[in-house]
Each structure stands twice: as C-alpha cells, then as structure tokens.
Chain A
Amino acid sequence: MGKSIETLSSKAKARKRVGIPKGLIYYHYPELFRIFFEELGAEVIFSKESNRTLLLEALQYASDEECFSCKIFLGHVNDLKKKKVDYLFLPKFHGSHKTEVNCPKFIGMPDVIRAVLEDLPQQLVPYHSRTKKKHRSLHLVWSAFTVGFKITKNPFKITRAIFRAVKAQKKYDEQIRWNEEKLHAWERDTNFQSGLEKVKIVLLGHAYVLHDPILSFDIPQRLTKMGVEVITSEELPSTIVEKQLKKLHSYLYFKEERSIVGAALYFLENETVDGILQLIPYPCGPTAISSEIIMRHAKRKEKIPLIQLMLDDNTGEAGLVTRLEAFVNTMKRKKLLQLQELYKHKNLVTKQIPKDDPIELVIVKSTSLDEEGAMK
C-alpha cells in the first residue's frame, strides 16, 4: 500500500514544469505555446504579470543600454528561476518569411540570459530562421518534436499537441486581427446617439508593449476610460497593411514595424481617426526606424495629430498621464468646437446633449473656460 502511494506521488511529481516568460515572443503566440505544452502533459508555469518590483530586480542584471522590453523580459526569466521550473522555454524565432524578420534581440536574448543569469534551469531553445538559414516549414515541425521529446516519449502525443496548438493559435489570431468589413464598419460608426462625434485613436506599438502593463503604462485602458475609441496596429487587417507599404521605396523587413507603419499610413491617407499615438520603449531599435518614417509622413499631412511617447524605466506616471490627457483633450475640444458651430448654425441649445455621454464632462469644463475667456 505504502509503496503504491509513493509511486503515485512520484508520478505526480514527475509531471514536468515548463516555464514560459511573459515577454517578447510570448505575446505573438500565447495560445500556441500554452496549448502545446499542456497537451504534452507538462505543467505550464507563467511568470507573474510584470510590475514595479519585477522591473527593479531586472535592473540589477540588465545592462543600462538594453531596451526597456528586454529589461522586463530579464525580470520575467528571473521570476521563473525563483519558481524552480524544470525547463525554461526560450524560443529563437527569426522569422518564417523569406525576408521579414523579428528584431535581432529575439535571437540574441536567450544567449544574453545564459551569460547574465546564473543557476538557470535547463533551457529549451529551438531555433528557426528562414531568412538566414533557409529553414522550411518542416523544420518548424522538427523543432517542435525535439522540444516535445524532452517532455514525453510518445510521438503521437506530440503530433496531436502540434495540431491542437496550431488550431488554438489560429483562433486567437482571428480574434485579434479584424477583417476589412469590421474595420470599415468601425470607421463608418462615427457618432454617438446624441449626435456628438466619437474621438478615435489609432494606437501603434508592438504586441509585447501593448499587452504589458508596465511597458505600456496601461495606456490602452486609460484611453478607453477617457472615452476614446482605440484601434491598435495589430488589429489592422494584413491586406490593408501590405497595400500601404508599397508607398515606401525600400522593403521594410521588420515584421512588426510593417503593421505599425502600414496602420499609420492607412489612417494618414483615409483620415478616419482623429489622432495617432505611438508607444516607443527606449531605445528600441526597429521603432527608431518606424517612428521616423511615420513622423516624416505625418508632417506632410498636417490634418492628423501625432504623438510619440517614449517610455523607459524612469518614466514618471504623472508626467505621462498629463501628456496623454492633453493630447486627448485637444481632440475632444476640436470636436466640441465643431459641434458648437453646428448648433449655432441650427440655432440649437447645447443642453440637448444627454448626460451619460462620456465627452459631456469635457464640454462642461471647456464651456466654463469659454466663459472666462481663457479659450480665446
């Protein structure tokens, strides 16, 4: 009896613990990695949501010139090290397209981690690069198998895991990416029921910046709280992005910068949003390119305001929020002035605006300003 209990407990212990840091590539394929390891029978352990303490710990290891997102990534790995996982999953994914690549940090980071942190658990580091090594899709399957054999010895289980993981990831992608119909419907939906125009913003940034509470300073949530409608660059359909990128004279080969620049150029052309907001983790390499391209194109079309917020580990929250609020309020004020013009024209009274409108608050503020004469 005692023996069987022991073997049972040892079996339960034998379930391998795989740690996945929540940073960089994780946000590109969150479902793929989770489902794959769960189907293999491993226990998937994520690092905790990034917070201030995690960042402060990471700063002890990271070199000061490292980009902000990589500093956070080091923090996540450090967190997993403390959680005592059996395997650390750090894929090196250069890109499965002929020319489109990820940032070089995606390949170099696992090596840097190995050099910087000590006493790390065993790492699973599959490498895939079609651009440099001419790897085909079969190589992806092969690397999935090499990773899978570390956890289970059953090849059928691995095959099943691959299929289910890919299916789940496809579903996730469909949720994230809008199709063109949805985009156009969103663009056409301009007014509230009261007749006030909605304030719409396109938010540009990498997936690992927008989803991370520390890297993005919760800006997507803050914007929705302010009553702004937000579309992010990763939601834009890829067909539209590809069409827009033909405006550039050379081939933009950074995969995520393509959707960022494409989104910016699309809205600069169509003018269906009121403002463009770009988040830049300091000193991100690829974004230095995209931000300059967007800035130079936006200068030529002065109708749409653009703000580029640079974030790093010393950024104060208050200063950032002030800038954000100023940006949003200028757009709201523009709408308000348009509305006032309209009401003057029609001899209507402003009181007709219902109170539950999110912009209403600002109207009260700016009208009071108007009375004081500060507005003029």
Chain B
Amino acid sequence: MITYPPFGPSGYTFMAGLKDIGREDFLHLPRPTKKMIALGVAHSPETICTPLKYCVGALLTGIEMGATEIVFPSGTGTCRFSIYYELIRLIAEDIGYDDVTFHTFDYHLPFDLLRMFKSISNNKSTWEVFTALLRGGIRNRLLDDVDEQLNYYRALEIEKGSTERVAESFYQQIINTRKRRGFSKLKKDIPKTFKEEVEINHIKNPVRVVVVGEIYAVLEPGMNQDLNKRINELGVVAKTGVSLRKYTDIGAKINPFIKEPHKVAAKAAKKYLPHYCGGDAQHTIGDAILYKKKGWDGLIHLYPYTCIPELIAKDILPKVQQDIGMPKYSLVFDEKADGAAIQTRLEAFINMLKRKKYLEN
C-alpha cells in the first residue's frame, strides 16, 4: 500500500494522481488527529518546525495501518523542508519499520517528478504519466477555485452547512474527472453552482480578510484548527493566495503568459524583502501589500513554530503594517494549538476590523 502525508483539500491532487497512474492500493490519510500529533511529537526533534511533527505522526500511523511505500519529496533547497526525508527515514528505521520503501524526488525538478511517478506507476507509459501530472496541475487549480468560493459563500450562507455540502460534491467530481472536456466544464460549473445552490444574505459590504503564511499552516485544517471556517462563522469573507499550485502546476510553469501569484507577490515585496529567503516569506509580505491595494480589510498571518522564513516575515510585517496601514495579526501554531484559544484571539481581531469598518462608513 502506498501513502503520502495529509495536506488538506489539496491532498486530493495526490490521491487522484495515484488513481490516474493505475495505483488503486493507496491510503489517503485523514486529517491529523490529536493521537497522530502526539505520536509525531514523541519521535521528532524538539525545535524542528511543526509540519515535520505532523508528517511523522501521520506517516507512522499510515505504516501501522499497513502502508509499505511512502512518497515524500527530498532534494535541495533553502528552508528545512527538503531535508525532512532524512529525518523521517531515520525515525522509521529506529522504531523498527525496516521494510518501508521511500519514493523520493526533487520537487524543484519536473523531470525528477516524472521519473519517480513512472517508477511507482502500474505499467504506464511516460506519456500517460506526464498527462497524469498535467491533470494534477489542473485539478489543483480547480480545488483552489472551490476553496475560494467556499470561503466566500460560507460566510454569508443562510442555512448552515449548505456550502460545505456543495464543496464536498465538487471535491468528489474533481477526483473522478479524467477528461479534458470535463475539467473545462467543471471550471464553468463551480461558480455557477455555488451561486445557484447556496442561499446567501445579501450584505452590501462584508468584512474581508486575507489569510497568508506558511503553506502547510494555511492549507491543512488539522494544523490551523479550521481557521477559515472559524473566520467564516463570524460572518467574514476569507481568501488565501497561498496554494500548492506553486509546485504542482507544470502547465503554468511552461506557459510564459501566465503570471504565477507567488512571483507577482515577490515583486510587490521588493521594498521590504528584496531577496528570496526560502519558504513563503516574500509571498506573505507581497500579499499584504497587494491585498491592501485591492481594498481588503485585514490580514491574518499563520506560521508554524520555529519556521525560519516566516519568522523573518513576521519581524518585517509590523513595519509593513505601519507603512501601508493594513491591520495584521500573526498566529503561531505548534502541536499544542488549541481551537478555543485561537477562537478568542480571532474574535478580538475580527471585532476590531468590523468596528473599524463601521466607523469608516
């Protein structure tokens, strides 16, 4: 059985990709539970960034559930993510899971990705694997579209839970679609269906908040304690510019006419953080500036404990906040992150934004 770390709704991309290359014996891990996290914390180093603890916990649970193969990125980079594989391997060996095979690839190199997927595929040709990868990029784009609609309609819905039902059905459709035509039909369907099926309060000018930060903290609801949902329940529209597309969308990388969002953001952040320093630090600061220009009301910055690049961004953000006047709130997540504590702090921040908006109008 083959498995991979949990990654929020974006994890469906991996699942569908494995189905495409003929592997039916995969294990899609559920969202990290308290038990999984405790297992991860017990085995990983103390001051490592929190996503490793989550990954270790989830993957060890996966091995206990019978997985024998693990797909995990490796290679070189600037932040610590690319060396995770070495630690996970050592940890698994020390526990005594010797028969686990790791499939590693350098996620910066598309050819390496292709080679790895070919090696784990079920007798598929290189072309089929390549199209599967392309489809992965498209699926990820659609998943992002669904998330964007979900984070808008959930804030304004009248019947609680109706938006999530629609989103869930779309997730399943995206996983099961294989044809190119199906994807383009879905792309048109997604905004239309949300508009038709979800009844909303027509509030004239809702408070809008943008969520930025480290990719795993933003995209994995198990880590950020359903932050998007919590924001929406307070009647506030949320959006995130962070996406796994940065790595999976080969189509956008090949096409010179598509401007990738992380590159646009990096350009905007030039005044404060002109050079790439790993992770999503530039993306964070760039988004703060770009969304202020678009007229958004606030910014919530999420980062895992001891993440090096995001700490740099966190230190610079107060200066950005002073200069452009964008209210921001930095939230740190570690393995002890608790829903109630975050809820209180979030409510205080959102109420401040609402009050500010009310006074302005």
Closest to B44 in A: A292
Instruction: Check: A286 CB closer than 8 A to any chain B CB.
Output: yes
Give the size of the chain A interface in residues (CB under 8 angstroms).
44
* Nearest-CB residue, chain A, relative to B79: A104
Q: How many pairs of A and B residues are in contact by the CB < 8 Å rule? A: 123
User: How many Å from the CB of B168 to the closest CB on chain A?
Assistant: 37
| Bound Cα distance A296, B332 (Å) | 29
B273 at the interface (CB under 8 A from A): yes
Q: Does A228 contact B (CB under 8 A)?
A: no
Inter-chain contact B47/A288, CB cutoff 8 Å: yes
A289 at the interface (CB under 8 A from B): yes
The interface stretch among A160-168, A245-253, A315-323, A368-376 is A245-253
Q: Find chain B residues with CB under 8 A from A287 CB.
A: 47
Q: Please encode chain A, from 99 to 117, with 1 for each CB lying within 8 Å of some chain B CB and 0 for all others.
A: 1010111011101101110
CA distance A112 to B305 in the complex (A): 18
Whether B78 and A131, one on each chain, are in contact in the complex, defined by CB atoms closer than 8 angstroms, is yes
The reply on B196 being an interface residue by CB < 8 A is no
- In the bound complex, residues from chain B placing their C-beta under 8 Å from that of A291 are 45
**A127–B276 alpha-carbon span in the complex (Å):** 11
Q: Which residues of B contact A112 (CB under 8 A)?
A: 312, 315-316
- Write the nearest CB–CB distance from B219 to chain A, whole angstroms: 21
| Interface flag for A129 (CB, 8 Å) | yes
Distance of A201 Cα from B76 Cα, bound (Å): 31
A-facing mask of B209-229, CB < 8 A → 1, else 0? Answer: 000000000000000000000
Q: What is the total number of residues of chain B having a CB less than 8 Å from a CB of chain A?
A: 45
Are A293 and B278 also in contact (CB < 8 A) when A250-B104, A251-B75 are? Answer: no
What residues on B are CB-neighbors of A129 within 8 Å?
Answer: 275-276
Contacts of B308 in A (CB 8 A): 103-105, 108, 285
The answer to whether A285 and B90 touch (CB under 8 A), given A104-B277, A112-B316, A250-B85, is: no
B275 touches A127 (CB 8 A): yes
Interface residues of B in 284-318 (CB under 8 A from A): 305-306, 308-309, 311-312, 314-316, 318
The listed residue (A63, A132, A248) touching B314 by CB distance below 8 A is A63
- Whether A111 and B306, one on each chain, are in contact in the complex, defined by CB atoms closer than 8 angstroms, is no
Decide: A66 and B45 in contact? CB cutoff 8 A: no
Tell which of A94, A111, A280, A295 touches B312, judged by Cβ atoms closer than 8 Å.
Answer: A111
Query: Are the C-beta atoms of A283 and B306 separated by less than 8 Å?
Result: yes
CA distance A234 to B101 in the complex (A): 35
B79 x A292 contact (CB < 8 A):
no
26 cross-chain CB contacts under 8 A: A101-B78, A104-B79, A104-B279, A104-B309, A104-B312, A105-B308, A107-B276, A108-B277, A108-B308, A112-B316, A115-B319, A127-B275, A129-B275, A132-B78, A251-B75, A251-B76, A252-B86, A253-B83, A282-B47, A283-B47, A285-B306, A287-B47, A292-B44, A292-B48, A292-B87, A293-B87
- By a CB distance below 8 angstroms, the chain B residues around A116 are 315, 319
Contact of A92 among B44, B45, B46, B275 (CB under 8 A): B275
A196 at the interface (CB under 8 A from B): no
A65 proximal to B (CB < 8 A)? yes
> Which A residues lie within 8 Å of B44 (CB)?
292
Q: Given A127-B275, A289-B80, output 20 extra A-B contacts at Cβ < 8 Å.
A: A104-B279, A104-B309, A105-B277, A105-B312, A107-B276, A108-B281, A111-B274, A115-B315, A116-B315, A116-B319, A127-B274, A250-B75, A251-B75, A253-B76, A253-B83, A285-B49, A286-B80, A288-B306, A292-B44, A292-B48
How long is the Cα–Cα vector from A287 to B308 in the complex, in angstroms? 12
CB under 8 Å from chain B, chain A span 112-150: 112, 114-116, 127, 129, 131-132
Interface residues in chain A, defined as those with a beta carbon under 8 Å from any beta carbon in chain B: 63, 65-66, 92, 94, 99, 101, 103-105, 107-109, 111-112, 114-116, 127, 129, 131-132, 248-254, 280, 282-289, 291-293, 295-296, 299
B121, CB-defined interface residue at 8 Å: no
Nearest chain B CB to A278 CB, angstrom units: 12
Shortest beta-carbon distance from A74 to chain B in Å: 10
A65 touches B306 (CB 8 A): yes
Task: Kindly state the separation between the CA atoms of A288 and B305 in the bound complex, as whole angstroms.
Answer: 13
Complex-state Cα separation, A291 to B94, whole angstroms: 16
Report the Cα distance A65→B46, complex, angstroms. 14
Q: C-beta contact mask, B72-107 vs A, less than 8 Å → 1, else 0?
A: 001111111011011101110010000000001000
Select from chain B the residue with minimum beta-carbon distance to A300.
Answer: B94
| B272 CB–A CB distance under 8 Å | yes
Of chain A, the residue at the smallest CB distance from B322 is A115
A109 to B312, CA, bound (A): 7
- Please give, as numbers and ranges, the residues of chain B lying within 8 Å of A107 by CB-CB distance: 275-277
What A residues does B82 contact at CB under 8 A?
250, 253
Contact between chains at A115 and B272 (CB < 8 Å): yes
Contact yes or no, B312 A132, CB < 8 A? no
Contacts of A292 in B (CB 8 A): 44-45, 48, 87, 90
Interface centre among B80, B85, B305, B314, by most A CB within 10 Å? B80
Check if A296 sits within 8 Å of B94, measured CB to CB.
yes
Contacts of B277 in A (CB 8 A): 104-105, 107-108
- Chain A's closest residue to B315 (CB) is A112
Partner pick for B278 among A104, A114, A295, CB 8 A cutoff: A104
Closest CB in chain A relative to B238 CB, distance in Å: 25
Residues of chain A contacted by B78 (CB below 8 angstroms): 94, 101, 104, 131-132
Question: Across the interface, do B83 and A289 meet the contact criterion of CB distance under 8 Å?
Answer: yes
CB distance from B278 to the nearest CB of A (A): 4
Give Cα A292 to B86, complex, Å: 10
Contact across chains for B86 and A249 when beta carbons are under 8 A apart: yes
Query: Which residues on the B side are within 8 Å of A249 (C-beta)?
Result: 85-86, 89
Taking the closest CB of chain A, its distance from the CB of B262, in whole angstroms, is 14
